[in-house]
Amino acid sequence: MKKCEVCSEVEAKYRCPRCELQTCCLKCVRQHKETSGCSGLRDKTAFIAVTEFNDRHLLNDYRFLEDCGRKNSNASRDQLKRTSNKPNFLKVLENQARNRKVRLRLMPYPMSKRKHNSTMYQHRLKTILWQVEWRFPEVEYSTIDRRVPETHILGDILDKHFSVDADPVVRHRLKRFVEDREPSCLVLMERRGATQSDTSYYQLDLKKTLAENLQEKEIVEYPTLTVVTQGKLSDYKIVSCDILTNDLKTSDGKQPGLKDKEEGENRLSEKAFA
């Protein structure tokens, strides 16, 4: 055995991953680092001749590439966390939703719902144009309406999927809903904030506007509405009116509606788009 290259008294037991100097104990390892300035960390990019390359070197290279990928991913995520400023049009949208007693939650851009959400505030019409997702669990079908004016009656929005002008294939798939219609056809919206084991729903009014139906509710990106027949209503837990009126206050920590400062910011944002 070769002797320790620091003290030259005892047989070496350890080899420095960085410079391959051989030492016998912790004291000699520390002395080596102090005198030479060696970090003791393996040089992951050091040249290795093909004749010396083995499975250990291959594994080290693989781990090095994995580590690079992980750090790159973490750096991207950290950048997203640091980016707290939202574009003005999203601030306006949130404020306009709050004015309508709607708690709108917007996700970070890389999230699928954020990237594909077409909801916007139309300044000229002073109207929110909602993206609405419709789900028909009884026939395992879903579809999306883009930029639906909040002033439209909910029943009219739904009816276009059942009308004779609708896609014949889709209309056939929704046959049971076409036959039932009102009052047997019901529209539900999942209540946000409830635990997964206690999922509950609001029952919406088909004769009211979309805006009226969304009041006092929390929405992530855009409303997702579930359409069921009367016979399946018992499968869903419907929340009471008391819970409905208190939900938004609880989720926001304050009464819905903008404060004076928020209203001022909203007006300034609107002028930027005028």
Contacts 24+ apart (CB under 8 A), 68-77: none
* pLDDT in the model for residue 259: 41
49 in the same domain as 123:
no
Q: Give the least confident one: 29-43, 126-140, 182-196, 213-227.
A: 182-196
CA proximity to 215, closest of 96, 93, 95, 103: 103
Residues contacting residue 8 through CB under 8 Å, at least 6 positions apart: none
Does residue 200 carry a pLDDT above 60? yes
Where does a domain end: 81, 102, 129? Answer: 81
CB 127 within 8 A of CB 92: no
Question: How wide is the angle at C-alpha 218 spanned by C-alphas 216 and 220, nearest 5°?
Answer: 155
251 in the same domain as 167:
yes
176 in the same domain as 160:
yes
Q: How far is 187 from 96, CA to CA, in rounded Å?
A: 24
Encoded tokens for 226: 């579930």
Domain count, the chain: 2
- Any bridge partners for residue 120, and if so which? 129
Identify how many contiguous H helices and E strands the chain contains and give both numbers: 10, 10
240 in the same domain as 223:
yes
- Any bridge partners for residue 121, and if so which? 128
Does residue 272 carry a pLDDT above 50? no
Most confident of 171-185, 206-220, 232-246: 206-220
Task: Indicate whether 9 belongs to any domain.
Answer: no
Where does a domain end: 66, 81, 96? Answer: 81
115 in the same domain as 151:
yes
Across the range 51-74, mean pLDDT stands at 87
Q: What amino acid occupies position 111?
A: M
195 in the same domain as 100:
yes
- Mean pLDDT estimate for the chain: 81
* pLDDT in the model for residue 180: 58
Distance, C-alpha 159 to centroid of its chain: 30
What are the two backbone dihedrals, phi and then psi, of residue 7, each rounded to the nearest 5 degrees? -95, -20
Give the residue numbers spanning the domain of 68. Answer: 14-81
Does residue 198 carry a pLDDT above 80? no
| Longest pairwise C-alpha distance within the chain | 96
231 in the same domain as 104:
yes
Q: In the structure, what pLDDT confidence band is assigned to residue 260 with cuts at 50, 70 and 90? A: very low
Q: Give the least confident one: 43-57, 69-83, 117-131.
A: 69-83
- Any bridge partners for residue 142, and if so which? 135
Q: How far is 194 from 175, CA to CA, in rounded Å?
A: 32
The 10 Å Cβ neighbour count of residue 25 is 15
138 in the same domain as 158:
yes
94 in the same domain as 75:
no
pLDDT per residue over 4-48, tens digit each? 999 999 899 998 988 889 999 999 999 999 999 998 888 888 888
Q: What amino acid occupies position 201?
A: Y
Q: Give the least confident one: 41-50, 88-97, 177-186, 216-225.
A: 177-186
Residue 6 DSSP SS3: coil
Where does a domain end: 81, 109, 138? Answer: 81
